[in-house]
Structure 1
Amino acid sequence: MSDNPFGRVITAMVTPMHDDGSIDFDGLQRLAVHLADNGHDGLLVNGTTGESATTTDDEDYDSVAAVVEAVGDRVKVMAGCGTNDTEHSMRAAREMVARGADSLLVVTPYYNKPTQHGIVEHFRMIAEAADRPVMAYDIPGRTGTALATDTIRQLATIPQVRAVKDAKCDLFEASRLMAETDLLWFSGDDVLNLAFLALGATGVVSVVGHVAGNDYRAMVDAVDAGDLARAREIHARLIPAVDAIMHTSQGAIQVKAALKMQGIIGSDRLRMPLLQGPAEHREKLRTGLAAAGLLG
């Protein structure tokens, strides 16, 4: 794994906000330090969980700079720059690299529903514009378009495209592509972290990692050591937390509430159309975190 520019335990960071909805950059830096202190060797800024759909370009660039300033000498910092506008994504990629990003996350273009050939060219143009390692993000549940198997094979021929964040969750196709290409593979769904790692994935890009970074580090290390019993033990213990965060409403909503519950961020404010959850969601979260040993 020495030629891995992303890290192995990566969390898609939330973007802490003040109660008025403005970004809490001090809180963002404190969160980055907390994650770096707890199991992480990579951080993703401006991903889906960071509410990138409702943050501005300038906020995104400033967020990258803030995280790099806080922890850039300790962990790899990846910046989400993908949109459904190729030119916009290219400009964002260049600026995020200028602000210190080590690598870039590029999501499949959403809403437009481009052809697979168009998707390949979209990735190629962004990758060449910034000339930094790129992780392709395959999440058809949000984008409406999956990366076809042959498309991923073509992406593997682009020198800067080094990895896939897999939230399509087709384990057989993932294993086929891991065997056929030299792409680094990352679980993009906390529910399947252990399954992906057991099949040979490099690491995880997590939401639950906000509160379970040391556990996911231990899981990665256990799989590396061939200790699947230990890895399964960690997986089983985390099930209540994963369920409470990922299956109650929406990951960003629940994990912000979890971080506030733990005193790591000051507010669980989100930007519309995301809303803080009702009391029963917070109670399920508290119960799940406690059952997983992640409270107190």
Structure 2
Amino acid sequence: MFKGSMVAIVTPFKADGSFDEETYRQLIDFQIASGTDAIIPCGTTGESATLDFDEHARVIQVCIEQVNKRVPVIAGTGANSTTEAIGLSKNAKDMGADGLLLVCPYYNKPSQEGIYRHYKAIAEAVALPQVLYNVPGRTGVNMTAETTVRLAEIPNIVAIKEAAGDLTQVSEILARAGDKIDVLSGDDFLTFPMLACGGKGVISVSANIVPAQVKAMVTAFFAGDWEQARRLHLELLDLHKAMFIDANPVPVKTSLELMGKCAAQVRLPLCELGAANLEKLKTVLKKHKLI
């Protein structure tokens, strides 16, 4: 259902820390003009953890308004409270979101049965296509292939964004439930091998700064030009890695500022990139002729 090159879009802030709506609208138009297949507001890259409830709703609403049905909007509405996630998800549905991105419950460290019941409850409460999001480096718990396969039986759970960095786990999901659930890459540097295993696309951080290039790689792969896709994958590898020299989204927001697209402003407890990493980032961006 949701395929291709999708962006986990940043949430731009003004110098006073408030949501910069006008810049956000410009970033959305930049994405659509570059061929991005779906926009995902309020993900990890969108700093959802530091948005209050009103801001969270406003960011999603502005995204839906600006996209204006040109591509799907998959709203990030996950939480470590099932009740809260259901509330956020219902709100996104009422605003007109096309789907939901639901991060695995974080900090609680639930059992696999608890994870299953969490997602099942949301799916039963909110009639929208839902994308699971497994990112153990952030949440502290890995959702196993077994749990994903169980959840794939629920009709409106349509995909999983896999960011565990484990191609064996990805392959097991596809081998056992690839006809029931789509697998999307959550790690830019693993998108090409995940597509080769049967993945359907990527929810990308790097696409914030190089949307056309990420789209070109995915397009080449699905057109059967695997050599071109492989070449683009390898060319972008250092850029993908640079987006994680500090906590996401600090490097990607810094890149956008250096490119003149939005301020690097993040909210505490995140802070600006250190001097040494800033120089490393500039080197990579210059190599790719982005600055």
TM-score by length of 2: 0.96
Structure 1 residue aligned with 2:232 = 234
Match of 2:37 among 38, 41, 57: 41
What is the alpha-carbon root mean square deviation over aligned residues?
Answer: 1.2
Whole-angstrom CA distance in 2 between matches of 1:293 and 1:221: 22
Whole-angstrom CA distance in 2 between matches of 1:278 and 1:112: 31
- What's the offset of the Cα at 1:115? 1.6
- Of all paired residues, the percent bearing the same amino acid is 38
Whole-angstrom CA distance in 2 between matches of 1:293 and 1:198: 29
Correspondence 1:88-107 to 2 at 5 A: 88-107=84-103
Three-state SS of the structure 2 residue aligned to 1:29 is helix
Three-state SS of the structure 1 residue aligned to 2:73 is strand
Q: Which amino acid aligns with 1:218?
A: A
Q: Which amino acid aligns with 2:205?
A: V
Kept after mapping to 1: 8 A contact 2:76/2:102: yes
Q: Is 1:64 aligned to residue 68 of structure 2?
A: no
Structure 2 residue aligned with 1:169 = 165
Whole-angstrom CA distance in 1 between matches of 2:146 and 2:198: 20
- What's the offset of the Cα at 1:281? 2.2
Whole-angstrom CA distance in 2 between matches of 1:259 and 1:8: 23
Structure 2 residue aligned with 1:262 = 259
Q: Which amino acid aligns with 2:17?
A: G
Whole-angstrom CA distance in 2 between matches of 1:244 and 1:84: 29
Q: Is 1:273 aligned to residue 269 of structure 2?
A: yes
Kept after mapping to 2: 8 A contact 1:81/1:89: yes
Correspondence 1:1-296 to 2 at 5 A: 4=1, 6-181=2-177, 182-246=180-244, 248-265=245-262, 267-295=263-291
Whole-angstrom CA distance in 2 between matches of 1:294 and 1:283: 14
Q: Which amino acid aligns with 2:94?
A: A
**Deviation by residue 1:229-255 (Cα, 9 ceiling, x = unmatched):** 111211122122122212x11220010
Q: Which amino acid aligns with 1:287?
A: T
Kept after mapping to 2: 8 A contact 1:219/1:234: yes
**Deviation by residue 1:126-162 (Cα, 9 ceiling, x = unmatched):** 1222210100001111111111121111110111111
Kept after mapping to 1: 8 A contact 2:195/2:201: yes
Three-state SS of the structure 1 residue aligned to 2:209 is helix
Q: What stretches of structure 2 of length at least 5 have no aligned partner?
A: none
- What's the offset of the Cα at 1:183? 0.7
- What's the offset of the Cα at 1:293? 3.5
Whole-angstrom CA distance in 2 between matches of 1:140 and 1:239: 22
TM-score by length of 1: 0.94
Three-state SS of the structure 2 residue aligned to 1:145 is coil
Whole-angstrom CA distance in 1 between matches of 2:59 and 2:191: 27
Q: Runs of 4 or more off by more than 6 Å in structure 1? A: none
Whole-angstrom CA distance in 2 between matches of 1:283 and 1:39: 30
Kept after mapping to 2: 8 A contact 1:243/1:288: no
Three-state SS of the structure 2 residue aligned to 1:113 is coil
Kept after mapping to 1: 8 A contact 2:7/2:203: yes
Three-state SS of the structure 2 residue aligned to 1:53 is helix
Q: Number of aligned pairs? A: 289
- What's the offset of the Cα at 1:120? 0.9
